[in-house]
Structure 1
Amino acid sequence: MATITTSRLSLSPFEPSDWAFFRRLREAPEVMRYMAAIASEKETRRLFAARLTAQHTFVIRRHDDPTPLGDIGLQISAQFAQEADIGYTVIPAAQGQGIASEALRAVCDYAFIRAGVTAVNAFVLADNGGSVRVLEKAGFVRTQVLEKAYEINGVRYDDWVYRLESGAA
């Protein structure tokens, strides 16, 4: 699998040594508040094992520092091979520095140029203003509002669907 580089970042495939980072990320309430309930260690290990074998999933790092800053990945649709969903997470200490925006642009370019994708979709909770700004800054357009469609810890949230088509960014 490819490593993607930008002016500041290196996006590389998950390695077994990334387990501690992945676990800390998935156990951090300030990260998970917009994603899902914090899972058991067994479930987190299952998710990590899937990342190790996923074709288009990356750990985000700066070129000059091996410390993971987040992760980002594409899930190409089984029904529509020209479409993919994208998801990303950045540790709180790295938020607000353009890390998510830079990684998102790089992975979308990768999707369009190297993975044969013509459209990338993203789902974001309406309450997640930071992620909404990242998507809109990258040229994603909100195409749908799914009212009270996503539940985390017993609370229902509106889920917004965003889309970026090849050539639109």
Structure 2
Amino acid sequence: MFIVTTERLTLLPISTLNANDFQTYIQDKKHIGRYIEQLKLDPTLLGWGVWLVTDTTTREVLGDIGFKGTPTGGIAEVGYGFNPSARNQGYATESVRALLDWAFSTGQAAAIVAECLADNHASINVLKKLGMKQTDEQDGMLYWTLSA
């Protein structure tokens, strides 16, 4: 298994081996349960799904980030969500930047896309800080792209 670290954070891909260690966090997260089931059927998805973001010092789970599957045509879609107590501290920008670097380093992703609600100013700020460019707006959603 691989781990990505930043100055303050440790990013751990959820796997069938470590899911039980984080049961308290993941029990109410349906997207994580679906990913674990997919991972059981296709272990090559490891890394292209959910990663937990933990505080390196306290080991507290601050949120989760990840991809919505393996890159298709060299394009992967990223998403993220953080606990209310972990917001507005730069964790999203720091962790997503590290994960994007990891994705580009695999050689499988040539571009990363994201989407957010048009009124989600926090996510808009994160995506801008990451250097993503807004490419479209439809039905209250904004669409973003970053090329390697």
TM score, norm. by length of structure 2: 0.83
**Gap change, CA 1:19 and 1:111, over 3 Å in 2:** same
- TM-fit CA distance, 1:116: 2.2
| Between structures 1 and 2, the one with greater strand share | 1
Residues 1:65 and 2:58 aligned together: yes
**Gap change, CA 1:47 and 1:134, over 3 Å in 2:** same
Could you say what the CA RMSD is over the residues aligned between the two structures, in angstroms?
Answer: 1.8
CA distance in 1, matches of 2:101, 2:34: 26
Q: Note the residue ranges of structure 2 that are not aligned, 5 or more in a row.
A: 40-44
Residues 1:23 and 2:27 aligned together: yes
What is residue 106 of structure 2 aligned with on the other side? 114
CA distance in 2, matches of 1:115, 1:69: 28
Task: Answer whether contact 1:88 1:100 (CA < 8 A) is retained.
Answer: yes
Task: Answer whether contact 1:70 1:91 (CA < 8 A) is retained.
Answer: yes
Residues 1:165 and 2:147 aligned together: yes
TM score, norm. by length of structure 1: 0.73
**Gap change, CA 1:19 and 1:4, over 3 Å in 2:** same
- For 1:66, what is the secondary structure of its paired residue? coil
What is residue 46 of structure 2 aligned with on the other side? 55
C-alpha distance after superposition, 1:80-122 (max 9, x if no partner): 1x11000011111010000000011001100111252110000
CA distance in 2, matches of 1:132, 1:66: 27
Flag as ranges the 4+ runs of structure 1 deviating above 6 A: none
For 1:160, the aligned partner's letter is L
Q: Note the residue ranges of structure 1 that are not aligned, 5 or more in a row.
A: 27-43, 148-157
Task: Answer whether contact 1:8 1:63 (CA < 8 A) is retained.
Answer: yes
Q: Across the two proteins, how many residue pairs are aligned to each other? A: 135
CA distance in 1, matches of 2:34, 2:128: 31
Task: Answer whether contact 2:71 2:109 (CA < 8 A) is retained.
Answer: no
Task: Answer whether contact 2:11 2:52 (CA < 8 A) is retained.
Answer: yes
What is residue 141 of structure 1 aligned with on the other side? 133
For 1:20, the aligned partner's letter is T
